[in-house]
Structure 1
Amino acid sequence: MIISKTPLRASFFGGGTDFSTYYENSKLGYGTVVSTALDMYVYIIVNRKFDDNIRIVYSGNELVSRVDEVKHNIIREALKIVGIEKGIEIIYMADIPLSNAGIGLASSSALAVGVLNALHAYKGEFVSQGVLAREACEIEINRLGQRIGIQDQFAVAHGGFSQYKFFNDGSVSITPVVCKKEAMVQLRNNLMLFYTGTTRDSRKILNEQSDTILDKTVMLDELVNTTDRAVQALYDGNLDFWGAELDRTWEIKKKFANGVSNPQIDSMYAKAKSAGALGGKILGAGGGGFMMLYVPQQRQNLVQEALSEFTYIPFSYCHEGSRIVFSD
């Protein structure tokens, strides 16, 4: 039996610049995001089955005789990449509700990375975090045709609080954000996470965003510059810069595609700002899922009261990426 544990992630700045259409053509030479892994996880259990069938358990339950019959598309393609054709059980669970709708924490990429990690370990193979990220991109983007960026796969595979740069030639650099411990702790203390209570199919939003990336180059260039400035501000201890820039870049993000925001989200965000939040954003493509807010600690009780109809989710940073936590 093998069990893998893969963190979810929250992305702060630079979303959209991790699309190949942008970074392969960027005059700046790269796209970039800064994100952190969270102490919320996707778990994959892999075990040898007593017969030659394949059993997959998630919110559904599949029992099939051939890989091509597996309906769960990510798990099916992971089996193909690793080269396992029969006699296996895979169980998928998470610290968040399992559904087909997006929630903005990179759960699909965490599933892809986590199941690949577990399947490789099942075969007695060690693969690096970089390989896991690349194989997850191969599944989600190339094989399944999802029109998404590549930040999520790298963030959940590597974990930690890092800046990722995606260069014209397709290479990726991962630089852990190293600053004074007090600044990192204070940033965490100034962040609040709320569940909007709604999920969304992000494909329409992401498809429109992908179609119009070249038309939004100026905005995306500004997001690259903002991401670099945000990392420098953290080094300098200028934490409130994060609040102000989250607010400004949220306004930019809403222009990327229809459905990024909606009246409920706008109302929720306005209530939070009126109560003392300096800025924030919907994580992921938008339209629902989780909202991250930057709120000075002395105003957090007021913000929590203002958003009492929404679920407040305490969280911490996660310093590790996808890993095998049990092998027998």
Structure 2
Amino acid sequence: MIIIQTPLRVSLFGGGTDFPSYYLEHGGCVLSSAIDKYIFVTIKKRFDDKLRIGYTRTEMIDRVDEINHELIREAMRLTGIAKGVEITTMGDIPDQGSGLGSSSTVTVGALHALYAYKKELVLTERLAQEACHIEREVLGKPIGIQDQYIAAYGGLRFMEFTTGGEVVGHRLELSERTMRRLSDNLLLFFTGVTRKADTILKEQKTNIKDRLTILSEMKHIAHVACDEIQNENIDAVGTLLHESWLLKKQLASQISNSALDDMYETARKAGAVGGKISGAGGGGFLLLYVPRGQQEQVRDALKDFQEYPFTLGQDGSKVIFDYQR
């Protein structure tokens, strides 16, 4: 049996500028971080040639083409494993629609598990690129490309997407104290709503040409946030998150709604400086920047919503167990 641990993420700044239809013309950038919540993918050899795929449901099939779980199906096609394995996914969050990058995390984790099963060492960059290929090109999902890279590499990363199609990223090398301060001031609350991101992202993608000024400003804020964090001005993050969220809501009609706006304003009145709905929007998790002195007031104001304690994580996708007989 092999077990792969792959992190979920919080997207902090620049989301939307990682669509190829935008950055191939204008360049893009994001600041995003892995967190200490994961999706685990296990793979083991079966005694027969059948395939067993376990997630929120169980599939027992004879051929890869029969697999309903499209991410695992395409990962198996790409890696060439066609029979006699059992693959299971387990996660620390709702199955889908969380806004924490779970689809890309599953894709990266599945690829990593399948290559490990083949005893093939692959570069982190290849895992990210192949996950992008599966989700965007094979399955045609209207998504950006930050999630796959964060899932593969981990850490708090600033990534730039060039007009030439390159992804140039680096991990922010912060002191342990600075990283802890940033992490301690971020809170996550579940909105109670999960959603399919595709509808929101399709509209956002369609609107790109009419939102160039907004996207340019979001890109600028991502650069400023990166500089402020590296200069240890952590409290600037809250204000910048608020400014960026006001811009992001204009990218598509379903990114926010009256209920989400009310939740966010309730948190702001209680002491949150800024925040955003994580991921595409429309539901999932509300990420807030709250100074430690105001956190209990915010928790009390949002007592009807489940808090999801987390810390920013360093690990990317990795093998945590490997025993093959």
Same fold (TM over 0.5): yes
Aligned to 1:307: 302
Rounded Cα–Cα distance in structure 1 between residues aligned with 2:178 and 2:269:
25
Aligned to 2:54: 57
Matches within 5 A, 1:306-325: 306-325=301-320
The offset of 1:97, in angstroms, is: 2.4
Q: Which amino acid aligns with 1:24?
A: L
Q: Which amino acid aligns with 2:73?
A: R
Bigger mean CA deviation after superposition, 240-249 or 284-293: 240-249
The offset of 1:264, in angstroms, is: 1.3
The offset of 1:25, in angstroms, is: 0.2
Aligned to 1:268: 263
How many residues matched? 323
The offset of 1:162, in angstroms, is: 1.0
Please say if residues 21 and 214 of structure 1, whose CA atoms lie closer than 8 Å, have aligned partners that are also in contact.
no
Please say if residues 184 and 311 of structure 2, whose CA atoms lie closer than 8 Å, have aligned partners that are also in contact.
no
Matches within 5 A, 1:232-247: 232-247=227-242
Aligned to 1:84: 81
Please say if residues 36 and 160 of structure 1, whose CA atoms lie closer than 8 Å, have aligned partners that are also in contact.
yes
Bigger mean CA deviation after superposition, 171-180 or 226-235: 171-180
Q: Which amino acid aligns with 1:291?
A: L
2:35 alignment partner, one of 26, 33, 38: 38
Q: Which amino acid aligns with 1:91?
A: T
Matches within 5 A, 1:82-231: 82-98=79-95, 101-231=96-226
Rounded Cα–Cα distance in structure 1 between residues aligned with 2:118 and 2:177:
43
Aligned to 1:279: 274
**Does the residue aligned with 1:39 lie in a helix, a strand or coil?**
strand
**Does the residue aligned with 2:29 lie in a helix, a strand or coil?**
strand
Q: Which amino acid aligns with 1:81?
A: L
Q: Deviations over 1:37-67 (max 9, x none)?
A: 0100000110111111111011011011111
Aligned to 1:73: 70
Rounded Cα–Cα distance in structure 2 between residues aligned with 1:168 and 1:76:
31
**Does the residue aligned with 1:318 lie in a helix, a strand or coil?**
coil
Q: Which amino acid aligns with 1:299?
A: Q
Please say if residues 195 and 282 of structure 2, whose CA atoms lie closer than 8 Å, have aligned partners that are also in contact.
yes
The offset of 1:178, in angstroms, is: 1.8
Aligned to 1:257: 252
Q: Which amino acid aligns with 1:110?
A: T
Question: When the two structures are superposed, what TM-score results if normalisation uses the length of structure 2?
Answer: 0.98
Rounded Cα–Cα distance in structure 2 between residues aligned with 1:241 and 1:171:
29
Aligned to 1:4: 4
Rounded Cα–Cα distance in structure 2 between residues aligned with 1:243 and 1:96:
25
The offset of 1:212, in angstroms, is: 1.1
Identity across the alignment (%): 46
Bigger mean CA deviation after superposition, 105-114 or 184-193: 184-193
Q: Deviations over 1:189-213 (max 9, x none)?
A: 2111111111111111000001111
Q: Which amino acid aligns with 2:81?
A: I
Rounded Cα–Cα distance in structure 2 between residues aligned with 1:309 and 1:94:
24
**Does the residue aligned with 1:317 lie in a helix, a strand or coil?**
coil
Please say if residues 113 and 157 of structure 1, whose CA atoms lie closer than 8 Å, have aligned partners that are also in contact.
yes
Rounded Cα–Cα distance in structure 2 between residues aligned with 1:252 and 1:203:
20
Q: Deviations over 1:123-168 (max 9, x none)?
A: 1101111100111011100010000000000011000111011111
Question: When the two structures are superposed, what TM-score results if normalisation uses the length of structure 1?
Answer: 0.97
Rounded Cα–Cα distance in structure 2 between residues aligned with 1:210 and 1:263:
23
Q: Which runs of 5+ in 1 are unaligned?
A: none
**Does the residue aligned with 2:256 lie in a helix, a strand or coil?**
coil
Rounded Cα–Cα distance in structure 1 between residues aligned with 2:77 and 2:230:
43
Please say if residues 259 and 287 of structure 1, whose CA atoms lie closer than 8 Å, have aligned partners that are also in contact.
yes
Rounded Cα–Cα distance in structure 1 between residues aligned with 2:226 and 2:173:
9
Bigger mean CA deviation after superposition, 166-175 or 270-279: 166-175
Please say if residues 187 and 287 of structure 2, whose CA atoms lie closer than 8 Å, have aligned partners that are also in contact.
yes
Rounded Cα–Cα distance in structure 2 between residues aligned with 1:66 and 1:179:
47
Task: Name segments (4+ residues, structure 1) moved above 6 Å.
Answer: none
**Does the residue aligned with 2:211 lie in a helix, a strand or coil?**
helix
Q: Deviations over 1:67-114 (max 9, x none)?
A: 10111100000000000111111011111122xx41100000000000
Please say if residues 102 and 202 of structure 1, whose CA atoms lie closer than 8 Å, have aligned partners that are also in contact.
yes
Rounded Cα–Cα distance in structure 2 between residues aligned with 1:318 and 1:209:
29
Q: Which amino acid aligns with 2:42?
A: I
Q: Which runs of 5+ in 2 are unaligned?
A: none
Aligned to 2:20: 20
